[in-house]
């Protein structure tokens, strides 16, 4: 029998962790002589106070949805894919190649093609570590980290050489106008009011939501998802059931790499509209924190991605309007990751005790089932 009811598990634990992270962050802000309350207000108004702020928050959140889902699906099979950063970079390359070299009459077709290109490239980048793990036992954590560096070098090479646009910058030329994705400003502004003015959030956000749903379906409803989770829980049992470890490792990593790659339709096609150096900006790593906090569940990932989107945009506002340095924002983000991810048990264990002690009274009639459960 679980120590905690499910609702407490999914709401109380992350909320208390967040609260602890917030308190510690406040102390740090106090320590450098700033007012934490003012900082919170600024973050909230900057990230959520206007459609402009929302436009940025949701743009960042979209990145994190894809990388968070990528880490989640791999983690369901107990594969720790640290390579989201590299897979997203290479996914960007896929988007750029598709959009630069193929003609598209309309953005919808461009979106489908670029998503396919992004997923294909990201998946291909994850394939090599996956096959090394499955066939040679090379540890996926090590190989995916290494592949991040190789991806960065590959992008450097491509952007100063083969696909570089004329000019000073190491970037491609702008994608054709027909491939531009509609931004929130295009989609939601009415004749008299302009909403989301200049913000980068675009239609990819809805692709992200669709991806959440698709992944939920995959993990919890399909036979593949069933096999994948079974393998994640117990490799020996999976073998007994005739589930091929090689297949699960490779397939889960392909889906994972594909999702990480698809982040590129948001930042490369949707926002920059060309491929620049270091386009991913660490979103691949944030994805790990998002997946941890979201318990590798698509709904959890979605919520965690929104939170990190808020932290990103709110943090940018802080750096802009106060003397709180940019680095401190990283500290706050790190504290959130630390508390929601690494120190999870610190909150969970005492909470479980609380719930257990609350359960004492109706013990007599429960005893028979719990004693049986313990056998």
Partner 1 sequence: MSDPAIELKGISKAFGAVQANKDISIRVMPGTIHGIIGENGAGKSTLMSILYGFYKADKGEIFVGGKKTVIPDSQAAIAAGIGMVFQHFKLVENFTVLENVVLGAEDSAMLKPSLTRARRELKALAAEYELNVDPDAVVEDIGVGMQQRVEILKALYRGADILILDEPTGVLTPAEADHLFRILDGLKREGKTIILITHKLREIMDITDTVSVMRRGEMTATVKTSETSPAELAELMVGRKVLLRIEKSAPALGEVILDVKDLNVTDDKGVHRLKNVSFQVRAGEILGIAGVAGNGQSELLEVLGGYEKATGTITLRGQTIDLTGGKSDGQSRRRRGIAHVPEDRQREGLIMDYHAWENVAFGYHHDARYRKGLLMDNAAIKADTAGKMKRFDVRPPDPNLAAKNFSGGNQQKIVLAREIERNPDLLLVGQPTRGVDIGAIEFIHEQIVALRDQGKAILLVSVELEEILALSDRVAVMFDGQIMGERLPGETDEKELGLLMAGMTDVPTDKPVHEAVEEQLAHAGTGDKRGS
* Residues listed for the chain: 375
Burial of 358 (0-12, 13-18, 19+ CB in 10 A): exposed
CB of 262 to partner 1, least distance (A): 21
* Residue 191 to residue 211: CA distance in whole angstroms: 31
Decide whether 193 or 236 has the Cβ nearer to partner 1: 236
Decide whether 50 or 138 has the Cβ nearer to partner 1: 138
CB of 230 to partner 1, least distance (A): 5
DSSP 8-state secondary structure symbol assigned to residue 183 = B
Q: H or E stretch including 328? A: helix 326-337
Find residue 202's DSSP bridge partners.
183
CB of 343 to partner 1, least distance (A): 22
Is the Cβ–Cβ distance between 58 and 48 less than 8 Å? no
* Residue 198 to residue 271: CA distance in whole angstroms: 10
Q: Is 202 helix (H, G, I), strand (E, B) or coil?
A: strand
CA 285 to chain centre: 8
Is the Cβ–Cβ distance between 275 and 154 less than 8 Å? no
Decide whether 129 or 225 has the Cβ nearer to partner 1: 225
Decide whether 41 or 239 has the Cβ nearer to partner 1: 239
Decide whether 162 or 364 has the Cβ nearer to partner 1: 364
- The token duo for 205 is 């956000």
| Ramachandran area for residue 78 (φ above 0: left; ψ -120 to 50: alpha; else beta) | left
The footprint of partner 1 (CB under 8 A) covers: 1, 3, 217, 221-224, 226-227, 229-230, 233-234, 236-237, 239-244, 356, 359-360, 363, 366-367, 369-375
Decide whether 164 or 247 has the Cβ nearer to partner 1: 247
CB of 80 to partner 1, least distance (A): 18
* Residue 288 to residue 281: CA distance in whole angstroms: 14
Decide whether 92 or 298 has the Cβ nearer to partner 1: 298
CB of 99 to partner 1, least distance (A): 31
CB of 87 to partner 1, least distance (A): 25
CB of 233 to partner 1, least distance (A): 5
């Amino acid at each position: 029998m679980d120590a905690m009811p499910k609702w407490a598990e999914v709401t109380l634990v992350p909320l208390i962790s967040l609260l602890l992270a917030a308190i510690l962050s406040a102390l740090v802000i106090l320590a450098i002589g700033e007012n934490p309350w003012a900082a919170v207000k600024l973050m909230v108004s900057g990230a959520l106070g206007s459609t402009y702020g929302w436009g940025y928050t949701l743009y960042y959140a979209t990145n994190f949805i894809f990388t968070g889902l990528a880490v989640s699906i791999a983690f369901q099979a107990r594969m720790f894919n640290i390579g989201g950063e590299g897979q997203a970079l290479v996914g960007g390359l896929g988007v750029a190649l598709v959009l630069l070299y193929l003609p598209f009459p309309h953005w919808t077709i461009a979106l489908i093609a670029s998503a396919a290109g992004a997923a294909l490239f990201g998946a291909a980048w994850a394939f090599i570590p996956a096959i090394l793990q499955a066939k040679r036992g090379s540890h996926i954590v090590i190989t995916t980290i290494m592949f991040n560096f190789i991806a960065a070098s590959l992008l450097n090479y491509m952007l100063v050489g083969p696909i570089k646009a004329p000019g000073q910058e190491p970037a491609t030329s702008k994608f054709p106008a027909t491939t531009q994705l509609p931004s929130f400003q295009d989609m939601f502004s009415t004749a008299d009011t302009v909403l989301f003015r200049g913000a980068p959030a675009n239609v990819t956000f809805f692709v992200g939501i669709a991806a959440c749903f698709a992944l939920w379906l995959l993990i919890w409803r399909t036979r593949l998802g069933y096999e994948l989770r079974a393998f994640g829980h117990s490799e020996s049992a999976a073998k007994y059931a005739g589930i091929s470890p090689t297949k699960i490792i490779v397939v889960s990593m392909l889906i994972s790499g594909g999702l990480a790659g698809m982040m590129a339709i948001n930042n490369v096609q949707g926002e920059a509209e060309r491929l620049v150096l270091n386009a991913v900006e660490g979103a691949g790593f944030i994805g790990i924190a998002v997946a941890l906090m979201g318990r590798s569940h698509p709904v959890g990932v979605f919520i965690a991605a929104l939170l990190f989107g808020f932290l990103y945009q709110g943090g940018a506002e802080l750096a802009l309007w106060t003397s709180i340095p940019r680095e401190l924002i990283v500290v706050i983000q790190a504290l959130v990751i630390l508390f929601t991810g690494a120190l999870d048990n610190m909150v969970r264990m005492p909470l479980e005790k609380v719930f257990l002690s609350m359960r004492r009274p109706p013990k007599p009639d429960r005893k028979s089932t719990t004693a049986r459960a313990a056998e």
